[in-house]
Amino acid sequence: MKHILLPLVALGLMLASAETLNAADKKLKAGQTEVTFKTDILSEHCKLRVEKVIPFQKGVDDMDIQIADGTVKVVFRTAKTSVENIKKAIEKMDYTVEVVDQRTEPKQEPDKK
């Protein structure tokens, strides 16, 4: 039984890490911002608390929480919300939050003819 279980667990971990890499490498669409916060989210319970709130904030399109390094990466529509609003939502759950990285894909202007 151990000989079957170990490879299955290893395969599951590889697939999970590959999915995480894919989420981090997504290209932003026009008008989206990706922000990475450093937080004190250090347990699965904390992660679940945040996952119940942040994805339902207005304008949030994607979120990834890494417990190992205490980061939360959020992709949102700039026209609908802001870095400050998302930061406040996390702080409201009694976590410390610091912006460590941010990138924005500017909205594309329509061609004038």
Encode the chain (113 residues) as per-residue pLDDT tens digits: 556 666 665 666 565 554 444 445 578 999 999 999 999 999 999 999 999 999 999 999 999 999 999 999 999 999 999 999 999 999 999 999 999 999 998 877 665 65
Residue in the structure block whose two tokens are 């989210």: 41
Pick from 95, 36, 102: nearest CA to 69 = 36
As for how many domains the chain has, the answer is: 1
Asked if residue 70 belongs to a domain, the reply is yes
In which domain, by residue range, is 63 found? 28-104
Q: Is the pTM of this model over 0.75?
A: no
**Cα–Cα distance, 53 to 92 (Å, whole number):** 10
Asked if residue 9 belongs to a domain, the reply is no
CA torsion 62→68→70→76, rounded to 10°?
Answer: -10
Is the dihedral angle over the CA atoms 77, 81, 84, 89 positive or is it negative?
negative
Asked if residue 11 belongs to a domain, the reply is no
